[in-house]
Structure 1
Amino acid sequence: MKIVVVDDDRLVCASLKTIIESQGGIEVIGMGHNGHDAIALYRQLKPDVLLMDIRMEGMTGLEAAGVILAEVNEARILFLTTFLDDEYIIKALKIGAKGYLIKQDFESIVPSLQAVAAGQSVFGQDIVTKIPGLMNNISHHEADHFELSDKERELIDLVAQGLSNREVANSLYLSEGTVRNRISIILEKLELRDRTQLAIFYYKNLI
Structure 2
Amino acid sequence: MKIIIVDDDKLVATSLKMIVESDKDIEVLAIGNSGEEAIKLFDEYKPDVLLMDIRMDGLSGLDAGEEILNKNKDAKILYLTTFNDEEYIDKALSIGAKGYIIKQDFEGIVPSLKTVFEGNMVFGKEVTEKIVAMSKVKADTDVERDVKSSGEAFAELTSLELEIVKCVARGENNKEIATSLCLSEGTVRNYLSNILAKLDIRDRTNLAIFYLNNK
Q: Structure 1 length as normaliser, TM-score?
A: 0.80
Residues 1:60 and 2:64 aligned together: no
* Residue 199 of structure 1, CA deviation: 1.1
**166, 174, 187: which one aligns with 2:192:** 187
In the aligned structure 2, how far is the partner of 1:193 from the partner of 1:14?
A: 37
Aligned Cα root-mean-square deviation (Å): 3.3
Partner of 1:14 in structure 2?
14
Partner of 2:182 in structure 1?
178
Residues 1:77 and 2:85 aligned together: no
In the aligned structure 2, how far is the partner of 1:180 from the partner of 1:84?
A: 37
* SS of aligned partner of 1:31: strand
Partner of 2:151 in structure 1?
none
Contact 1:2 1:29 in 2 (8 A): yes
Question: CA 1:89–1:70 in 2, change beyond 3 Å: closer, same or farther?
Answer: same
* Residue 149 of structure 1, CA deviation: 1.6
Contact 2:78 2:113 in 1 (8 A): yes
Question: CA 1:149–1:112 in 2, change beyond 3 Å: closer, same or farther?
Answer: same
| C-alpha distance after superposition, 1:148-190 (max 9, x if no partner) | 424156426644764979xxx9xxxxx8243886765443432
Question: Alignment length, in residue pairs?
Answer: 196
Contact 1:48 1:117 in 2 (8 A): yes
Partner of 1:110 in structure 2?
110
Percent identity, aligned pairs only, is: 45
| C-alpha distance after superposition, 1:80-104 (max 9, x if no partner) | 0000101000000011000000001
| C-alpha distance after superposition, 1:53-102 (max 9, x if no partner) | 00000110000001001001111000000001010000000110000000
Q: Look up the equivalent residue of 2:26 and give its one-letter code.
A: I
* SS of aligned partner of 1:119: coil
Residues 1:199 and 2:204 aligned together: no
Q: Look up the equivalent residue of 2:157 and give its one-letter code.
A: S
Question: CA 1:84–1:163 in 2, change beyond 3 Å: closer, same or farther?
Answer: closer
Question: CA 1:42–1:137 in 2, change beyond 3 Å: closer, same or farther?
Answer: farther
Q: Look up the equivalent residue of 2:38 and give its one-letter code.
A: A
**157, 176, 193: which one aligns with 1:149:** 157
* SS of aligned partner of 2:12: helix
User: What are the equivalent positions in structure 2 for 1:14-53 lying under 5 Å apart?
Assistant: 14-53=14-53
| C-alpha distance after superposition, 1:18-53 (max 9, x if no partner) | 011100121000110110000000000000000000
* Residue 202 of structure 1, CA deviation: 2.3
Unpaired runs of 5+ residues, structure 1, are 170-174
* Residue 115 of structure 1, CA deviation: 0.9
User: What are the equivalent positions in structure 2 for 1:161-172 lying under 5 Å apart?
Assistant: 162=170
In the aligned structure 2, how far is the partner of 1:65 from the partner of 1:78?
A: 10
Unpaired runs of 5+ residues, structure 2, are 149-153
* Residue 130 of structure 1, CA deviation: 1.2
